[in-house]
Amino acid sequence: MDLSPVFRRASAKDAPEFADAAHRYRSASAFRTGADVYDAVRPGYPPEVVSLVDGFDRVLDIGAGTGKLTTLLLDAAHDVLAADPSPDMVRILSSRGIPAWRATAEATSLVDAAVDAVTCAQTWHWVDAAAACTELDRVVRPGGRVVLVWNNLDVSHPWILRLARIMHSGDIHRPGFVPAVHAPWTITSELRTGWTQHLRVEQLHDLMASRSYWLRSDDTIRARMTENLRWYLFDRLEHQPGQLLPIPYRTDAFVLERT
């Protein structure tokens, strides 16, 4: 194993890159399984994100996953619906009593003008943005809005950058990135904030296992990733079993309204 340090710079991309639509679909389809691990270790969202839909009653959370944002919207007394293409994710959403079905941002299955607002958290980079903007124009009532949200590991911390490289995650969107949106929607405001999640050192393996790259990989690649992570956490950084670690995140959110 190469034990030399890695000094590669953080990503300068606005979004992950896919060879074509089929490549993007295959990558996103990895989340057909793994919902329980995802739910256990993926972070939630800061309360400022929920405030972006204050005053909007019925909210559709698209790409809801296991409900990390959905449940916060419910707690804020919104009338919430949830959609996700993964049957495993919808299983957990439904078990929590959330009205949920399998659908995508490009094809929601809703009638026209069905909701006041839409949220998409950890989702927009998996969709065809042009097709999704057309669909959201159809289902969001006049005067409504769309909120796009991302959690990114804060790789300005050198040890987190190395961690993100090992996990093949968390280093996709550069600080200050702006997502692609299409008419009639335009970005009218942004929220950029930082916060910290705390995980036991062993849970970082589960965090790695919740990523698309891991879910799409074979046993040989997974074994290599597991050993690289073990070496980094216990040999290189000398963390102790059971140690609680602060994991810094930055959250980027964008309010879309019709022009």
Nearest-angstrom CA–CA distance, 115 and 99: 14
CATH number at residue 188: 3.40.50.150
- Tell me whether residue 7 is in a domain: no
pLDDT of 25 > 80? The answer is no
Q: What are residue 193's DSSP bridge partners?
A: 251
> Integer distance in angstroms from the first to the last C-alpha of the chain?
54
Nearest-angstrom CA–CA distance, 232 and 236: 5
- Averaged pLDDT for residues 128-136: 97
Q: Would you state the pLDDT for residue 42?
A: 95
- Tell me whether residue 2 is in a domain: no
Q: At 185, which helix (H) or strand (E)?
A: strand 185-200
Nearest-angstrom CA–CA distance, 136 and 116: 11
- Tell me whether residue 87 is in a domain: yes
Helices (H), the chain: 21-28, 35-41, 47-50, 70-75, 87-95, 129-139, 158-167, 203-209, 212-216, 219-230
User: Residues 27-58: pLDDT tens digits?
Assistant: 777 788 899 999 999 999 999 999 999 999 99
pLDDT of 196 > 50? The answer is yes
pLDDT band for 5, please (50, 70, 90 cuts). very low
Residue numbers of the domain that contains 37:
21-258
Q: At 177, which helix (H) or strand (E)?
A: none
> Hey, what amino acid is at 232?
Y
- Tell me whether residue 13 is in a domain: no
Q: Would you state the pLDDT for residue 10?
A: 79
Nearest-angstrom CA–CA distance, 63 and 66: 9
Q: Would you state the pLDDT for residue 20?
A: 81
Nearest-angstrom CA–CA distance, 17 and 3: 29
User: Which of 8-22, 74-88, 173-187 shows the lowest mean pLDDT across its residues?
Assistant: 8-22
* Greater pLDDT, 13 or 239: 239
User: Residues 100-125: pLDDT tens digits?
Assistant: 999 999 999 999 999 999 999 999 99
Q: Would you state the pLDDT for residue 169?
A: 83
Q: Do the Cβ atoms of 68 and 120 come closer than 8 Å?
A: no
- Tell me whether residue 5 is in a domain: no
pLDDT, mean over the chain? 93
User: Residues 223-238: pLDDT tens digits?
Assistant: 999 999 999 999 999 9
Q: What are residue 58's DSSP bridge partners?
A: 79
- Tell me whether residue 3 is in a domain: no
Helices (H), 96-211: 129-139, 158-167, 203-209
- Tell me whether residue 12 is in a domain: no
Q: Would you state the pLDDT for residue 31?
A: 86
- Tell me whether residue 9 is in a domain: no
User: Residues 74-97: pLDDT tens digits?
Assistant: 999 899 999 999 999 999 999 999
Q: Would you state the pLDDT for residue 14?
A: 72
Whole-structure pTM over 0.85, yes or no?
A: yes
What's the gap between Cα 121 and its chain centre? Answer: 5
User: Residues 200-215: pLDDT tens digits?
Assistant: 999 999 999 999 999 9
Q: Would you state the pLDDT for residue 7?
A: 52
DSSP 51: G
Q: Which of 224, 227, 206 has its CA nearest to residue 34?
A: 206
Q: Do the Cβ atoms of 253 and 195 come closer than 8 Å?
A: no
pLDDT band for 172, please (50, 70, 90 cuts). confident
Q: Which of 165, 221, 212, 170 has its CA nearest to residue 27?
A: 212
Q: Do the Cβ atoms of 42 and 210 come closer than 8 Å?
A: yes
Task: Count the domains in the chain.
Answer: 1
